[in-house]
């Protein structure tokens, strides 16, 4: 036991020095890294007999290993390259060649990007199964025998957060989870912020760590000197003057070091107090990244790298306005970080997921401001997940219309803020029943005192009583907390993503490196052309060469060659349909990482020196098995169908502007009224496309067989108009109606009922577009030139009902369809101004589009659609909330399990001393000895559990080591007992 204790104490002293050494090399202070460093240390026989497998989505551990082993000639092999032929001998694979080179010479080997079990050729190495070959230990690798060098080290790494490993493989490896934690990320972000804002504090911290490390090392030297003196002393140590002198000197030195350590502890405490004020930014920033990480529960395409987030975080610190008042400065940083993160992420989300993400940002802001209670947020998540089982029976006096909502209400009544709600439902039921049928369940419709609820309690009640108005309520909350521009974010600016180069600072005296922007990944949905804007941008760049490769069988090598050529020559390279080459995408990710990593250091890569004019554009459909390594290294833009009718009309008018810019009206053949009528007609086609496209959101309620209309259909319809004008002839309305209603759009439907719907909507829109003002001469009605419009004093405002012609016969005008048309337009600029004022800047105020009658549907369809959107929103919120719960409560779950284990432990047996009064003294001695052994075992388990609980949130290393140490004590106790 004494020998075992000595080994454990010596090991822990060595561990302390290791931890301080790792801090000196700026390793992030996270408990996950400690276990890896123990595995990497040269004393691995004390800790493990298994090779490490790094679960490393953000490449934190692999980057550190490459730095740690750089002096030992580390060899790196990626999974996609393992089975390719070696450059030395094509008959030998790269992996076999690496093993033959590393194992005999004791060179470390790192295997990256493992997607499943390691190759079978590593079976004997993973199991550490060696053979004797001429008295030398050796590994049998395939058909080759390799002499084993004790210095050989094998590291395996995967970017998958949950690697699929067989039981045999898992048992032969030590899995080290490098998934980032909130605590570790917060420390890292705080250190970055302090370094930027108060560099003198960071310098003091580093000096303090170095001083503490030297003190610990000196203290260990004195302890070893004492032990050496005691072990080598001859005879009675009290008679050795030399030994006594050495002990006195070391004792005095030890006391001096301990006093200095106490001073260091005081300095460290003072530094931490200075740094804690910056946690107002760093802690919410860490939580915000965890929110981004949880988005992968909505779609596997939503992957974000930690390095990208830290770069954005540093950019916010550098570019946000300064302030001499610290509180003001921190508030500015908070607001800027939220804005930048939202604008960067929302463009890469599908339309259905943008509102849930923005609401998560809103919850984050409320949480930071202290305006969100944890129990209220938990209740909202329970309502969203529809966890309302095991509810008590409803009260007998509850109104029958409210019984359906009772299970969710029963859970909500547990909140303190809803105290008295049950009595109000029973005794003041009329307002609650009316709430079920009102158009807008505003707070004013709630009985007192529920009219003064805060945002989240009010949303809980809306989610219970009116799930069809959930998205409406969420938008109001977002507008109030973040601002209107968050609820209706702008579309992605692909031009800025492709045109602006990246400036990389390499030092204060060296000029920055200019490299192309990160690769652009366009995630497409069915019926959307993702490359239209890219092609338009490329056409404006002089002398630009653009190459397009559509991936499929046998195109991977072609694509790789084209990329390398584009890097050297500065071409724009488009790789389409990546989802057809999923097996090749890890190699593409490796190629992109190699090219852009070398560009950051202005060095050559496998493709040559990067030309700053190079651009890489990728397109894919969303697929579950898309490699995360590629998603984390690109800029993502989700090219999706518009989320609602207002955004659909906005996109349609963008297409209109592109088409109209090519128009030229010959003054000899066209009158000014013809030009105005043409623009109004193009605008009418935009409205028609919006109506028939958005009608499809109602599925079989709107169409017998729901079709899928695209922007290509709208472009074809507009081409009929622009081609007619380009040929110098007027547009034939009947021909336009036939081509649009029967061919372009009608050709996508297969039922006669759907064809009639399209024709009816088209005629109604064209009748408004081609409407003839009353004051026009009757003689001008024939031909295209008669389609002028009524001049009004305010040209760019929607027409009022009083000024609109034929109001009594135009039902569509009452629904607001006519208000989507300008009263007068003479030039394209006037139409653009009308769109900007009435559609783009005031989307939520556009009249007409909120009525289902505009789409030719009954009024009841609106509530059905809103209810479906509300359920989808709550479902998305529940998925993300579940993912966040797993991330945030991992440490709490560990503590909970440890506390439960400690409570289950029995207490020591008391009263053993009373056995001395037993008549059979021999039996009493045996019982007392067994009781003492039992109590030692129980006390050891209690001590181990108590130590693990105290250190679980600080360091898993201490937890694991203490458990192992106490296990050894228990084994020693068992051997003593035996």
Per-residue pLDDT reduced to its tens digit, 255-289 = 777 777 777 777 777 777 777 888 889 899 999 99
Interval 437-480: pLDDT, tens: 888 888 888 888 888 889 999 999 999 999 889 999 999 999 99
For range 189-201, the mean pLDDT: 84
Distant-in-sequence, close-in-space partners of 375: CB < 8 Å, separation ≥ 6: 415, 416
Q: Could you count the other beta carbons within 10 Å of the beta carbon of residue 879?
A: 20
Q: Tokens 């909505």: give the residue.
A: 298
Q: Tokens 């622009």: give the residue.
A: 722
Give percent of the chain above pLDDT 90: 12
Q: Tokens 């290393």: give the residue.
A: 957
Q: What are phi and psi of 718, to 5 degrees?
A: -70, -30
Q: How far apart are CA 176 and CA 62, in angstroms?
A: 11
Question: Higher model confidence: residue 842 or residue 253?
Answer: 253
User: Would you state the pLDDT for residue 504?
Assistant: 67
Q: Are 588 and 631 in contact (CB under 8 A)?
A: no
Q: How far apart are CA 549 and CA 102, in angstroms?
A: 39
For range 118-123, the mean pLDDT: 86
* pLDDT surpasses 80 at 787: no
Q: How far apart are CA 831 and CA 518, in angstroms?
A: 36
Q: Is 380 helix (H, G, I), strand (E, B) or coil?
A: helix
User: Would you state the pLDDT for residue 855?
Assistant: 72
User: Would you state the pLDDT for residue 13?
Assistant: 44
Averaged pLDDT of the chain:
76
Give the distance from CA 963 to its chain's centroid. Answer: 35
Q: Is 617 helix (H, G, I), strand (E, B) or coil?
A: strand
Q: Are 535 and 521 in contact (CB under 8 A)?
A: no
Confidence of residue 803 (pLDDT cuts 50, 70, 90): very low
* pLDDT surpasses 60 at 16: no
Question: Higher model confidence: residue 269 or residue 617?
Answer: 617
Which residues, listed in sequence order, are joined to residue 145 by a DSSP beta bridge? Answer: 140
Tokens of 791: 């001049």
Q: Are 723 and 736 in contact (CB under 8 A)?
A: no
CA-CA-CA-CA torsion for 110, 111, 112, 113, nearest 10 degrees? -160
DSSP 312: H
Highest mean pLDDT among 175-189, 199-213, 329-343: 329-343
- Dihedral class, residue 149 (left if φ above 0, else alpha if ψ from -120 to 50, else beta): beta
Q: Is 364 helix (H, G, I), strand (E, B) or coil?
A: helix
Taking CA atoms, 249 is separated from 176, 246, 254, 261, 263, in Å, by 44, 5, 8, 18, 21
Tokens of 505: 């600072």
Q: What are phi and psi of 520, to 5 degrees?
A: -105, 120
* pLDDT surpasses 50 at 802: no
User: Would you state the pLDDT for residue 850?
Assistant: 66
Q: Are 488 and 439 in contact (CB under 8 A)?
A: no
Residue count of the chain:
978
Q: How far apart are CA 690 and CA 688, in angstroms?
A: 5
User: Would you state the pLDDT for residue 179?
Assistant: 78
* pLDDT surpasses 90 at 815: no
For range 209-213, the mean pLDDT: 72
* pLDDT surpasses 90 at 633: no
User: Would you state the pLDDT for residue 339?
Assistant: 92
The string of DSSP letters for 111-146 reads: EE---SSPPGGGHHHHTT-EEEETTEEEEEETTEEE
Q: What are phi and psi of 349, to 5 degrees?
A: -110, 150
* pLDDT surpasses 60 at 148: yes
Interval 68-82: pLDDT, tens: 888 888 998 888 778
Q: How far apart are CA 172 and CA 161, in angstroms?
A: 19
User: Would you state the pLDDT for residue 788?
Assistant: 36
**Rg of the chain in Å (alpha carbons):** 36
Q: Is 326 helix (H, G, I), strand (E, B) or coil?
A: helix
* pLDDT surpasses 60 at 229: yes
Sheet strands side by side (includes 615-620): 546-550, 572-576, 615-620, 520-524, 635-639
* pLDDT surpasses 70 at 591: yes
DSSP 640: -
B/e letters for 538-548, b = 16+ CB within 10 Å, e = fewer, are beeeeeeebee
* pLDDT surpasses 50 at 2: no
User: Would you state the pLDDT for residue 473?
Assistant: 92
Q: Is 667 helix (H, G, I), strand (E, B) or coil?
A: coil
Q: How far apart are CA 486 and CA 488, in angstroms?
A: 5
Q: How far apart are CA 777 and CA 158, in angstroms?
A: 78
DSSP 957: H
User: Would you state the pLDDT for residue 85?
Assistant: 80
Question: Higher model confidence: residue 16 or residue 556?
Answer: 556
- Dihedral class, residue 142 (left if φ above 0, else alpha if ψ from -120 to 50, else beta): left
For range 23-32, the mean pLDDT: 42
For range 926-932, the mean pLDDT: 79
Helix intervals (H) in 1-58: 2-24, 31-40
For range 30-47, the mean pLDDT: 45
Distant-in-sequence, close-in-space partners of 133: CB < 8 Å, separation ≥ 6: 145, 147
User: Would you state the pLDDT for residue 719?
Assistant: 86
Q: How far apart are CA 476 and CA 473, in angstroms?
A: 5
Q: How far apart are CA 412 and CA 383, in angstroms?
A: 9
For range 648-657, the mean pLDDT: 77
* pLDDT surpasses 70 at 44: no
Highest mean pLDDT among 163-172, 272-281, 617-626: 617-626
Q: How far apart are CA 11 and CA 219, in angstroms?
A: 15
Question: Higher model confidence: residue 214 or residue 310?
Answer: 310
Q: Are 943 and 973 in contact (CB under 8 A)?
A: no
Q: How far apart are CA 452 and CA 227, in angstroms?
A: 73
Question: Higher model confidence: residue 810 or residue 657?
Answer: 657
DSSP 665: -
Residue 177, H or E segment: strand 173-177
Question: Higher model confidence: residue 264 or residue 622?
Answer: 622
Q: How far apart are CA 213 and CA 219, in angstroms?
A: 10
Q: What are phi and psi of 178, to 5 degrees?
A: -100, 15
Confidence of residue 309 (pLDDT cuts 50, 70, 90): very high
Tokens of 347: 């463009």
Q: Exposure of 964 by Cβ count < 10 A (0-12 exposed, 13-18 middle, 19+ buried)?
A: middle
Pairing verdict, β 109-112 and 75-78: parallel
Tokens of 562: 């084209």
Closest to 741 in 3D by CA, of 720, 722, 763: 763
Highest mean pLDDT among 167-181, 283-297, 709-723, 898-912: 283-297
Q: Tokens 């009260």: give the residue.
A: 395
Query: Could you tell me where the beta strands, DSSP code E, fall in 47-127?
Result: 51-55, 75-78, 109-112
Helices (H) and strands (E) in the chain, counts: 36, 15
Q: Is 919 helix (H, G, I), strand (E, B) or coil?
A: coil
Question: Higher model confidence: residue 53 or residue 707?
Answer: 53
Contacts of residues 266-273 at CB distance under 8 Å and 24 or more positions apart, as own/partner, are 267/204, 267/208, 268/208, 268/212, 271/201, 271/204, 271/205, 271/208
DSSP 613: T
Confidence of residue 118 (pLDDT cuts 50, 70, 90): confident
User: Would you state the pLDDT for residue 478?
Assistant: 93
Distant-in-sequence, close-in-space partners of 929: CB < 8 Å, separation ≥ 6: none
Q: How far apart are CA 38 and CA 24, in angstroms?
A: 16
For range 841-868, the mean pLDDT: 67
Q: What are phi and psi of 514, to 5 degrees?
A: -105, 120
Highest mean pLDDT among 37-46, 540-549, 706-715, 967-976: 540-549
Helix axes 645-660, 828-835, angle to 10 degrees: 160
B/e letters for 264-281, b = 16+ CB within 10 Å, e = fewer, are eeebeeebeeebeebbbb
Cis-peptide, bond into residue 897, ω within 30° of zero: no
């Amino acid at each position: 036991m004494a020998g075992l204790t000595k080994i454990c104490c010596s090991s822990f002293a060595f561990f302390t020095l290791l931890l301080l050494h790792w801090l000196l090399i700026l390793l992030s202070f996270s408990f996950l890294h400690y276990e890896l460093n123990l595995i990497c240390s040269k004393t691995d026989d004390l800790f493990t007999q298994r090779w490490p497998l790094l679960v490393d989505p953000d490449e934190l551990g692999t980057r550190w290993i490459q730095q740690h082993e750089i002096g030992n000639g580390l060899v790196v092999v990626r999974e996609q390259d393992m089975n390719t032929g070696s450059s030395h001998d094509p008959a030998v694979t790269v992996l076999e060649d690496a093993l033959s080179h590393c194992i005999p010479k004791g060179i470390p080997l790192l295997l990256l990007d493992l997607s499943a079990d390691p190759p079978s050729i590593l079976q004997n190495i993973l199991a550490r199964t060696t053979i004797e070959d001429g008295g030398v230990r050796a590994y049998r690798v395939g058909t080759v025998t390799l002499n084993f060098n004790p210095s050989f080290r094998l590291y395996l790494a995967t970017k998958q957060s949950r690697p699929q490993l067989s039981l045999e493989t898992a048992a032969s490896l030590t899995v080290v989870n490098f998934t980032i934690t909130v605590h570790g990320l917060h420390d890292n972000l705080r250190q970055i912020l302090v370094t930027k804002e108060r560099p003198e504090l960071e310098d003091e911290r580093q000096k303090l760590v170095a001083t503490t490390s030297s003190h610990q090392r000196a203290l260990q030297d004195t302890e070893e000197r004492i032990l050496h003196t005691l072990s080598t002393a001859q005879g009675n140590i009290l008679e050795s003057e030399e030994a006594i002198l050495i002990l006195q000197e070391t004792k005095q030195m030890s006391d001096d070091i301990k006093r200095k350590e106490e001073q260091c502890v005081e300095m460290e405490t003072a530094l931490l107090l200075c740094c804690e004020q910056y946690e107002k930014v760093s802690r919410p920033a860490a939580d915000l990244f965890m929110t981004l990480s949880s988005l992968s529960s909505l779609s596997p395409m939503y992957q974000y790298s930690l390095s990208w987030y830290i770069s954005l975080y540093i950019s916010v610190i550098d570019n946000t306005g300064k302030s001499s008042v610290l509180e003001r400065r921190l508030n500015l940083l908070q607001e800027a970080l939220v804005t930048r993160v939202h604008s960067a992420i929302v463009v890469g989300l599908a339309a259905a997921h943008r509102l849930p993400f923005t609401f998560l940002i809103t919850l984050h802001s409320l949480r930071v401001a202290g305006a969100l209670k944890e129990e209220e947020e938990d209740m909202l998540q329970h309502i969203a997940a529809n966890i309302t089982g095991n509810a008590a029976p409803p009260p007998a006096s509850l109104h029958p219309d409210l019984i359906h909502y009772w299970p969710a209400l029963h859970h909500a009544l547990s909140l303190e803020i809803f105290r008295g709600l049950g009595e109000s439902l029973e005794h003041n039921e009329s307002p609650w029943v009316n709430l079920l049928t009102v158009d807008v369940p505003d707070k004013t419709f709630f009985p007192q005192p529920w009219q003064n609820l805060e945002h989240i309690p009010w949303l809980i009640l809306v989610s219970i009583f009116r799930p069809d108005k959930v998205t409406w309520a969420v938008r109001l909350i977002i507008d109030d907390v973040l601002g209107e521009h968050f609820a209706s974010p702008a579309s992605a600016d692909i031009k800025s993503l492709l045109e602006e180069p990246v400036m990389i600072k390499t030092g204060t005296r060296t000029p920055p490196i200019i490299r192309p922007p990160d690769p652009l990944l366009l995630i497409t949905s069915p019926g959307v052309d993702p490359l239209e804007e890219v092609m338009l941008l490329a056409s404006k760049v002089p002398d630009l060469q653009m190459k397009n490769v559509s991936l499929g069988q046998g195109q991977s090598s072609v694509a790789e060659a084209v990329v390398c050529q584009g890097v050297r020559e500065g071409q724009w390279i488009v790789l389409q349909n990546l989802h057809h080459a999923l097996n090749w995408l890890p190699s593409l990710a490796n190629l992109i990482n190699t090219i852009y990593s070398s560009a950051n250091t202005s060095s050559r890569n496998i493709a040559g020196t990067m030309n700053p004019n190079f651009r890489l554009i990728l397109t894919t459909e969303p697929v579950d098995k898309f490699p995360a390594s590629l998603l984390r290294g690109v800029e993502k833009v989700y090219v999706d169908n518009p989320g609602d009718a207002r955004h659909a009309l906005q996109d349609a008018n963008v297409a209109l502007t592109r088409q109209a810019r090519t128009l030229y009206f010959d003054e000899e053949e066209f009158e000014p009224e013809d030009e105005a009528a043409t623009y109004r007609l193009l605008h009418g086609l935009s409205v028609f496309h919006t109506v028939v496209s958005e009608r499809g959101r109602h599925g079989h309620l709107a169409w017998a067989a729901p079709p899928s209309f695209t922007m290509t259909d709208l472009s074809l319809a507009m081409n009929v108009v622009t081609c007619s004008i380009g040929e110098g002839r007027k547009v034939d309305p009947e021909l336009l109606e036939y081509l649009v209603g029967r061919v372009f759009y009608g050709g996508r439907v297969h039922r006669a009922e759907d064809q009639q719907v399209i024709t009816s909507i088209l005629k109604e829109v064209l009748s408004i577009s081609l409407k003839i003002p009353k004051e026009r001469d009757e003689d001008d009605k024939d031909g295209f030139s008669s389609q002028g419009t009524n001049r009004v004093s305010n040209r760019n405002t929607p027409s009022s009902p009083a000024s609109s012609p034929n109001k009594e016969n135009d039902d569509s005008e009452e629904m607001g369809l006519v208000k989507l048309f300008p009263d007068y337009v003479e030039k394209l600029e006037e139409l653009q101004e009308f769109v900007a004022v009435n559609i783009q800047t005031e989307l939520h105020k556009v009249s007409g589009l909120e009525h289902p009658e505009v789409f030719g549907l009954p009024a009841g369809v609106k509530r059905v659609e809103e209810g479906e959107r509300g359920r989808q929103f709550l479902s998305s919120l529940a998925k993300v909330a579940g993912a966040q719960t797993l991330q945030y409560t991992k440490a709490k779950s560990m503590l909970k399990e440890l506390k439960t284990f400690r409570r289950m432990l029995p207490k020591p047996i008391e009263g053993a001393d009373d056995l001395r009064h037993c008549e059979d003294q021999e039996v009493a001695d045996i019982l007392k000895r067994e009781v003492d052994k039992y109590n030692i075992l129980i006390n050891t388990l209690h001590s181990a559990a108590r130590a693990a609980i105290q250190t679980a949130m600080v360091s898993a290393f201490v937890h694991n080591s203490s458990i192992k140490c106490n296990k050894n004590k228990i084994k020693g106790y068992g051997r003593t007992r035996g």
